Structures are given as structure tokens and as C-alpha cells.
Homo-oligomer: A and B are copies of this chain.
Amino acid sequence: MKKFMNEAGSLAADSLDGFVGAHDDLVAFGQDRKHVRRRVLSPGKVAIIAGGGAGHEPMHVGFIGKGMLDAACTGHVFTSPTPDQILGAIRETDNGAGVLLIVKNYDGDLMNFEMAAEMAVSDGGHRIETLIVNDDIAVERTARGTGRRGVAGTLVVEKIVGAAAEAGLDLFSLKAVGESAIAATRTMGVALKGATVPQTTRETFVLGETEMEVGVGIHGEPGRSRQDIADAATIASLICRQILDDLEPAQGQRILLFVNGLGATPPSELYLMFGLARRFFEAHGLVVCRKLVGTYATSLDMAGMSITVTLLDDASLGLWDAPVHSAALHW
């Protein structure tokens, strides 16, 4: 394992320290450095808080700022933040309009965010609602278990909900906006190399020289299948086809197409995949009217990428286009 780090145990905290130092015009540490929040909160609006394990940077701290998140709580690598951390963020950002928590669909995150919400309601009288993002179509929808994971599509939900909150929507309306965005969003990823977890110094999975993992999760969860590596056009078709089959969009439907790097895949390859995915969806009658390409939701140093599609209507298009000023997204 080769990483730029001091000790395995301090990688997450050291990285967060660097992040806050690099963007101290936008963000600040909350109390005891347990969360990161906007330097200046907007009065009167619902607070939007997200969080999860470290190792997915810039998600979520990179999305803190006007038009997106108010705060984010980061745990250790691939480990949920504690209820205590989340409660602190709620207390520091709720100005009376309530708090919307955006949670990726993992057992640990669900449990800790739910516990924090209960404490905030019972002890502090906060009004709390929760959105659970589950955009990863690699996992089948089943009656048992947690179901589909939350992955890169979480960015889209945070952007749309954040814009709606900035526009002054109330807590319940925001929850409805978020649920629509979640219902309209699907993601699938593929890895060429597993992530190396600093504490164990081992890869989450080891692929052979000619293998790829299709449908991989952002913690190195196994995907749908391990296959021989193919050319980029074949990989793009494989993933885009799954998304299309799951979303079943109408002809002429407008979409946001988002190609996300998982950590160790360079921009040149992400752009190449974007071009192929765009052609695929256009050939299938969709209108790619918004685009995003970059490394936004990572799995440490995993080599790979994911493709996210969100169906857009006039409302969500307007919210996507609304100004955002965070470290990782800015327009």
C-alpha cells in the first residue's frame, strides 16, 4: 500500500484538516472539529446536513456552501459518523426552520442518523426529516436487507435539495423535492482496481490483470459480476443499458448525465467514458441536457468510474442550474 499519509488512523482527520484549511473562505469546523459547516449560515432556511464515512472525498464536505449543504459529518474511513457528531451539526445549523438529513443507504449510517434525529427531536425540540438515497442499481431491490446503496447520485440529490432550500422551501416541501430527485436518479459503477483501506493495508478486493468488477459499491462491496476487462465502448454500453432498463425513460426525456471518478482514474479516461455514455443515451432517444464529469464521490484510491443519470423536468432542471458555491461544485 502506498499513500500520502502519516498514520492510518489519522488519515481521515488529517485530510479534513487540509480541506478546511484550503477552503476557509467557505467552511469552518464545528465544535470540537466533529463536523464541518458553512462559515456563514443563511438565516431562516432549512438546514441541509449530509454525512458518512471518510474516503469518499470531496463528498460530502466539498458540497458545503451556498446553494447546497449547510454541514457535513465525516466518520473514520468507510465508517459512519457517530450520533453525537450528527447531533452537534444539527444544533449548530438549525435556526428554527428545521433540518433535513441526507443519508446514503447503509445500515451504519441509517442507524446513527436515526439515533441523532431522535435525540435532536426529544432533547432539543428540533424538527427533523430524513432523505435516504439509494441510487445504486447494482443491488437488486429486495424485501429483505437494506436494499440499494447510496452512491454518486447523492451529489445530485444534495444539489437539487440544496437549491430548493436556498429558495426558501419549507422542510416538508424539501423532503418531497428530495424524494422526487431520488426516484429520478440511478447509478452504476465499475472498478479496475480495488480501494486500499489504510488500516488493513489491503485492497477491498483484488482483481486479476484482465478483470473488472461491474456494479461495484463505494466501499469495495462486490458488484454484480466479475468479468474480463473490455474496451471502453463495451463497458459504457453495459452500464448505460442497465441504467436505461431500470429507469425506463420516455423518448425525448431530458437527462443529467454524470460520470464520476472513483479515486484513481484520471480525467482523460472519465471524459472518454462520458463521450461514449452520451452517445449511447442520445442513440436511445434521450436528450442529454446537463452534464457533469469529475472525481466527486470516491472510494479512496479505487480505479474505476460510475455513471449516474437523473431524469429532469422543468423544476429539477431549474434547481440543478441554480447557483452553487461549494469547494467541489461552483456555478
A18→B276 contact, CB < 8 A: yes
A167 at the interface (CB under 8 A from B): no
A274→B330 contact, CB < 8 A: no
A274→B22 contact, CB < 8 A: yes
Q: Quick one: closest B residue to A267, CB to CB?
A: B57
Instruction: Collect the chain B residues with CB atoms within 8 Å of residue A292's CB.
Output: 22
A264→B303 contact, CB < 8 A: yes
B301→A57 contact, CB < 8 A: no
Of the A-B pairs whose beta carbons lie under 8 Å apart in the complex, a sample of 13, sorted by A's number, is A2-B193, A4-B232, A4-B235, A5-B231, A15-B271, A18-B272, A19-B271, A19-B275, A22-B274, A57-B267, A62-B267, A263-B264, A265-B301
Q: Quick one: closest B residue to A298, CB to CB?
A: B266
Could you give, for residues 253-265 of chain A, a 1 whenever the CB lies within 8 Å of some chain B CB and a 0 otherwise? 0000000000111
A272→B232 contact, CB < 8 A: no
Q: Which residues of A does B touch, CB under 8 Å? A: 2-7, 11-12, 14-19, 21-23, 54-55, 57-58, 62, 192-193, 209, 212, 229, 231-233, 235, 263-276, 278, 291-293, 295, 298, 300-301, 303, 305, 330-331
Assess A273 versus B6: contact at CB under 8 Å? Given A264-B303, A266-B57, A266-B300: no
Instruction: Collect the chain B residues with CB atoms within 8 Å of residue A232's CB.
Output: 4-6, 14
B5→A300 contact, CB < 8 A: no
Instruction: Collect the chain B residues with CB atoms within 8 Å of residue A266's CB.
Output: 57, 263-264, 295, 298, 300-301
A12–B266 alpha-carbon span in the complex (Å)? 13
Q: Quick one: closest B residue to A56, CB to CB?
A: B268
Instruction: Collect the chain B residues with CB atoms within 8 Å of residue A291's CB.
Output: 21-23
